Amino acid sequence: MIVNFYERYQPKDQTRFLEDALIDGFLSTDGKYTGLLKAHFDQSAGIKDMLFTPSATAALELAVQLLGLAPGDEVLLPSYNFPSAANAVIKYGGVPVLCDIDPATKNISLEDAGLKISRKTRAILPTHYAGISCDMDRLMELAGSYGIAVIEDAAQAVHSAYRGVSLGSIGDFGAYSFHHTKNFSCGEGGAFLCKDPARMDLAEMLRDNGTDKAQFQKQKTSSYSWQCAGSNYMMSTACTALLYAQLLDYEQITAKRKAVSDAYHTLLSGAAEKLSGRIKPMEIPSYSAPNYHIYYIDCEDFEMREAVRKGMLADGIDVRTHFVPLHLSGYGKALGYEAQDCPGSLSAYETLLRLPIHTEMTESDCETVVCSLLKQAGVS
Ligand SMILES: Cc1ncc(COP(=O)(O)O)c(C=O)c1O
């Protein structure tokens, strides 16, 4: 490939932090680097407390478990999505209700969510697609007016904000991912955020096999034992050290990704007349300060997206489509969904194309990408 889709940012001190963690000796969880990570998120993102988990999937499972769903309780989530949230709802006895997306942002359509709220709805679980925020004032108002919880799937949105407030920290619960492909990564990893300190205590138990070990470690009990059904959702020390090394450079990482996104936007806007709306650049609403996790374009139709995708791959530019919407998937169909149930999600599936974006890209790489794109769209 001439331009890779993704490259992991390699902070210069990562091996030193890893060695330090090894020398420290305690490789399980919640060691020295957990404290440093918590301080980082407190100082840079205003997040007062969080639990580090093996994945965003685990964090979403903790959040859904804390809802205490009764069989048949419903949770609204977007169809254009990764399956983790829907799996978590099913795992804890609920029914995922798949909503359509807003074509402008690819985030959950609040109109559709509003129509799908029923007496059984217990929560709304939005995803901040591409690290771009949902309209959180409207979303929180909708949830508040029905007394339902909000779980933010902020897997893609670490260090993104909505009107200055960090995503993941606005709803009742939030989930982050530090998977290899995310902006800040340690291979596999995640974090669980929770507004209510009392529920955070319960989350600590659920995360540690249903024991009150965390209370014991804080010297609030003289011993610890099994209190409720739980699991092991811990992040190991090696991962926390690798993640900390990356997060020290979070501003540079975000600035480099922003430069790529800005370059694409300028180059595509410059070609807007030639493209005459057949390819649209990604939109960032004014309320959103994204982390530039993804840069995507919207093509006129499936045929054009496929022609551009195949042509760009042949030019050595690693471009990718994204989610197969949940309602179109094998399991979605088995749950009774049909293709036209979420037309916006179907359209994103057919027409969205992600361009390369990572910290190692230069201005010239961005020009190479857009040059190939325009050539393949037949307008260069
Ligand atoms: C929106 C969304 N939610 C959840 C996940 C799952 O994250 P993890 O791999 O950390 O479990 C992903 C991963 O790509 C995602 O994009």
Look over the chain and give the mean of its residue pLDDT values, rounded to a whole number. Answer: 97
Q: What is the location of CATH 3.90.1150.10 in the chain? A: 250-376
153 lines ligand 1 (CB under 6 A): yes
- What would the CATH number be for the domain defined by 14-247? 3.40.640.10
53-63 pLDDT, tens digit each: 999 999 999 99
Q: Is the pLDDT of residue 319 over 90?
A: yes
For domain 250-376, give the fold. Answer: Aspartate Aminotransferase, domain 1 (3.90.1150)
Q: For residues 38 and 34, what is the distance between their CA atoms, to the nearest angstrom?
A: 6
Task: Establish whether residue 82 lines the binding site of ligand 1, counting it when its CB lies within 6 angstroms of any ligand atom.
Answer: yes
**232-254: pLDDT as tens digits:** 999 999 999 999 999 999 999 99
Yes or no: say if 170 and 193 are a contact pair by the CB < 8 Å rule.
Answer: no
pLDDT at 60: 98
Question: With pLDDT > 90 as the criterion, what percentage of the chain qualifies?
Answer: 97
Structure tokens at 129: 């697609």
> What pLDDT is stored for residue 30 in this prediction?
85
Instruction: Tell which phi-psi region holds residue 30, choosing left (phi > 0), alpha (psi between -120 and 50) or beta.
Output: left
106 lines ligand 1 (CB under 6 A): no
pLDDT digits (tens, 9 = 90+) for 215-238: 999 999 999 999 999 999 999 999
Instruction: Note the pLDDT of residue 380.
Output: 81
Determine if ligand 1 sits within 6 Å of the CB of residue 190.
yes
Query: Where in the chain do CATH 3.40.640.10 domains reside?
Result: 14-247
Residue 362 — pLDDT band, cuts 50, 70, 90? very high
* Model confidence pLDDT, tens digit, residues 104-117: 999 999 999 999 99
* Cα–Cα dist 78/113, whole Å: 9
Q: Report the separation in Å between the CA atom of 272 and the middle of ligand 1, taken as the mean of its atom positions.
A: 33
User: In ligand 1, which atom is closest to the CA atom of 60?
Assistant: 4
For residues 149 and 68, give the distance between their C-alpha atoms in angstroms, rounded to a whole number: 11
Question: Which pLDDT score is estimated for 81?
Answer: 98
C-alpha 315/C-alpha 162 separation (Å) is 37
